[in-house]
Chain A
Amino acid sequence: MSDTRPSARYTEYHPRWYRTHVSTWWWLARWPYLKFILREISSVFVAWFVVVLLLQIRALSRGPDAYARFEHWLQNPGIVLLNLIALFFVVFHAITWFNLTPRAMVVRLRGKRVPDRWIVSANYAAWAAVSLVVAWFLVRS
């Protein structure tokens, strides 16, 4: 069979197709698209957390005074606000990630597909457990 791809040559018998240009602001046109972009933007705040973590590690290795300055920096209202926004986005990342997991990974037990909500619930339960473990390590004097 010959090449079925559309030819770009417009002849008398070939209609002039109209092609709509996709706007740069396509993601503002519908709420699901905007939600998607926000979900992707959450990755920036994941990277921001790594920055804060590295600053903490550096401060720890430089001594108690440096660490006290780091802790003081964390109390700066601008930084607190940024971290509050970052926390919203990383939680948004976690929630959207767990909710999408069963679609990406189908688990089959004895030939039948495990219902999506079991996988989602298992993820949330694990999230709670892991958070408690991490908190247990950090909430100490």
Chain B
Amino acid sequence: MAETISLEVLRYSPEHDAEPSFQRYDVPVHKDWVVLDALNYIKDKVDGSLTFRWSCRMGICGSCGMMVNGEPKLTCATFLSDYARDGRPVRVQPLRYFPVIRDLVVEITDFMSKLQSVKPWLIRGDEKPVSEGEYLQTPDQLDRYKQFSMCINCLLCYAACPVYGLDPVFIGPAAIALAQRYNMDSRDEGAHERMDVLAQHEGIWGCTFVGECTQVCPKHVDPAGAIQQYKLTATIERFKSFLMPRGAK
């Protein structure tokens, strides 16, 4: 009943490899199998040494991002049947532009520190005591930042961003989109704190609006839009501070 499909998986073992190399596996294709199912089949039945990250297998944890035939994808959301038709092997490689630790696992500390630097939490000058109730927000106020809050930190956008690939000091799409998620939140008062990090050259100004980050985002966050909107905000703030050095905050 099941046909087979070939996967070419990039293997890299730091103990004995100087460079990564492809290894080919034949995997049965079941109707609803995704690439992650194939990788788990390989690990369970064929080659237990294959190393990769995954968790929820339903597109919400952001762990299983990899390159499938050169495109950044969540392997739990990429169906084998889309690739089975032309008979060519499916190439699975670790997420592009990140250092490879082993096989399909990449080092993401760079992103984690960048994310931390934009302070992705609500910043307030003073906090209401719990007895005074919640901070209220209208649906329109929620609508301003909701799209950016959908980010699952899967890093597909970094794998798609040539600026990040060429210049790893670039803060990157997800970090800026998440900063915007808080900047645009009506309950937040920390926009000027984030601006110090974002308004540097390694912040938003490295971005040339290639737009590929938005194209590959599985949650439709539109980080490219977030970055361009922030460029406008930062520019207005810059002109304001220039024209009213004491008046502007």
Contacts and interface: CB of A to CB of B under 8 A. Distances in A.
Interface of A: 4-6, 15-20, 22, 26-27, 29-30, 32-33, 36, 40, 100, 103-106, 111-113
B68 to A, nearest CB: 14
B19 A5 contact: no
B222 interface: yes
Given A4-B113, A5-B113, A112-B143, A17 B107 contact: yes
B212 interface: yes
B166 interface: yes
Contact of A16 (B14, B208, B224): B14
Interface residues of B, number: 37
A4 B112 contact: yes
B222 A103 contact: yes
B100 A18 contact: yes
Interface stretch (B127-135, B150-158, B227-235): B227-235
A6 B99 CA distance: 11
Interface of B: 12, 14, 19-20, 70, 96-97, 99-102, 107, 109-110, 112-113, 116, 138, 140, 143, 162, 165-166, 208-212, 214-215, 222, 224-225, 228-229, 231-232
A115 to B, nearest CB: 13
Given A5-B113, A32-B211, A100-B209, 4 more contacts: A22-B97, A22-B162, A104-B232, A105-B228
Contacts of B211: 32, 36, 100
B14 A105 contact: no
B113 A18 contact: no
Most buried by B among A6, A20, A30: A20
Nearest to A29: B70
Contact of A32 (B107, B109, B215, B222): B215
A18 to B, nearest CB: 4
A106 B229 contact: yes
Given A15-B101, A112-B140, A6 B20 contact: no
Contact of A104 (B109, B212, B229): B229
